[in-house]
Amino acid sequence: MLTHHSLQFLSNLEQNNNREWFHANRKDYEQTKVEFENLCQEILNGVAQFQENLVNTSVKSCILRINRDIRFSADKSPYKKYLGAGFGPGGKSSGKVDFYLHIQPNNESFLGGGMWAPTGSQLASFRQEIDYSPHILKGIIEEDTFKSYFNEIHGERVKKMPKGYAADHPDIELLKYKQLFFVHKYTDSEVISENFASEVISGCKILKPYLDYVNNLFFGEED
Q: Residue 3's pLDDT is what?
A: 98
C-alpha span between 102 and 87 (Å, rounded): 11
Categorize the per-residue pLDDT at 7 as very low, low, confident or very high, splitting at 50, 70 and 90. very high
Average pLDDT, the chain: 96
Quick one: what percent of the chain has pLDDT higher than 70?
Answer: 99
Say if CB 43 and CB 87 are below 8 A apart: yes
Question: What confidence tens digit (pLDDT) does each residue in 53-110 have?
Answer: 999 999 999 999 999 998 888 899 999 999 999 999 999 999 999 999 999 999 999 9
3-class secondary-structure state, position 33: helix
Q: Is the pLDDT confidence value at 43 over 70?
A: yes
Residue ranges of E strands in the chain: 83-87, 99-103, 109-115, 152-154, 180-186
Nearest in space to 43 (alpha carbons), one of 176, 150, 200: 200
Dump pLDDT digits (tens) for 196-211. Answer: 999 999 999 999 999 9
Supply the pTM of this predicted model.
0.95
Q: How far is the C-alpha of 91 from the C-alpha of 65, rounded, in Å?
A: 13
Q: Is the pLDDT of residue 141 over 80?
A: yes
How far, in Å, are 26, 33, 36, 62, 73 from residue 65 at the CA level? Answer: 15, 10, 12, 10, 17
pLDDT at site 35? 98
Query: Given a cut of 90, is residue 221 above it in pLDDT?
Result: no
Min mean pLDDT across 47-56, 106-115, 175-184, 214-223 is at 214-223
The 109-115 sheet, strands edge to edge:
83-87, 99-103, 109-115, 180-186, 152-154
Mean pLDDT of 212-220: 95
Q: Which of 148, 152, 158 is nearest to 126 (CA)?
A: 158
Give the span between the Cα atoms of 151 and 23, in whole angstroms: 39
pLDDT value of position 72? 86
Q: State mean pLDDT over 32-57.
A: 97
Task: Tell me which amino acid residue 146 is.
Answer: F
Over 90: is that where the pLDDT of 161 sits?
Answer: no
Residue 103 burial (10 A CB sphere; 0-12, 13-18, 19+): buried
